[in-house]
Amino acid sequence: MSRQIGIMGGTFDPIHEGHLITAEAVRSGLGLDTVLFIPAAVPPHKRHQQVASAQDRYIMTQLAVCSNPHFIASDIELRRKGASYTVDTIRELRAYYGAGTEFYFFIGADAINDLDTWHRVDELLQLCRFVTATRQGTELDVTRLHERFGDAGCQRIHRIDTPQLEISSTDIRHRVHEGKSIRYLVPQAVREYIEKEGLYL
């Protein structure tokens, strides 16, 4: 049987329980062996939205995932200079893991409706499957996806029920800045790292 790997990409500034709970729901729902957490290098024009350094975001991701034997933090996009297109990351992963590996790329329900605008999206849909969570307030634009990708393409876009958590990195950064508690919103080791390094103050 071929290996099945989930991919959770994000800025992870910082990684939080919403990411972890969603990833675990996707992993167990689809029966995946592994989920790779891939912090993104942030393009220069988005630097103002990013607060912690790539290294801090990667370390926090490692701290968050290390207790789950199915989770792995990957610095594949950080080792490449500049921002990466998902299609290039998946190509590199396929070369590494072998063509028999099936990849499931997680994408939030807010982002999936814009999938048709992604770089080399047709090639990307050949290289990996997509998984999206049913997230409150966002409806999947089935008509738009169908018009663009047809039946065959849509069969490679999966939906999975996940617990809905209104947790975001933006809110966590604001909370730290305002001196509020982030306990239980992020794993304890991540909270301790944020405190020790004085991030988001």
- Residue range at the interface with ligand ATP (CB under 6 A); choices 70-78, 94-102, 163-171, 187-195: 163-171
Quick note: the x/- pattern for ligand ATP over 133-152, rule CB under 6 A, is x-------------------
Footprint of ligand ATP on 106-125 (CB under 6 A): 106-108, 111
Q: Is 186 in the site for ligand ATP (CB under 6 A)?
A: no
Q: Considering only CA atoms, which of 11, 4, 10, 3 is closest in space to residue 27?
A: 4
Q: Is 167 in the site for ligand ATP (CB under 6 A)?
A: yes
Q: What residue type is assigned to position 66 of the chain?
A: C
Q: Which is nearer to ligand ATP, 86 or 149 (CB)?
A: 86
- Residue range at the interface with ligand ATP (CB under 6 A); choices 68-76, 137-145, 167-175, 184-192: 167-175
Q: Is 160 in the site for ligand ATP (CB under 6 A)?
A: no
Residue nearest to ligand ATP (CB): 108
Give the nearest distance from C-beta 184 to ligand ATP in angstroms.
Answer: 13
Give the nearest distance from C-beta 148 to ligand ATP in angstroms.
Answer: 20
The DSSP line for the chain is: ---EEEEEEE--TT--HHHHHHHHHHHHHHT-SEEEEEEPPPPGGGGGG--S-HHHHHHHHHHHHTT-TTEEE--HHHHSSS---HHHHHHHHHHHH-TT-EEEEEE-HHHHTTGGGSTTHHHHHHH-EEEEE--TT----HHHHHHHHHHHHHTTEEEE--------HHHHHHHHHTT---BTTB-HHHHHHHHHHTTT-
The residue within the footprint of ligand ATP, chosen from 61, 62, 74, 169 (CB under 6 A), is 169
Footprint of ligand ATP (CB under 6 A): 10-13, 18-19, 22, 106-108, 111, 133, 165, 167-170
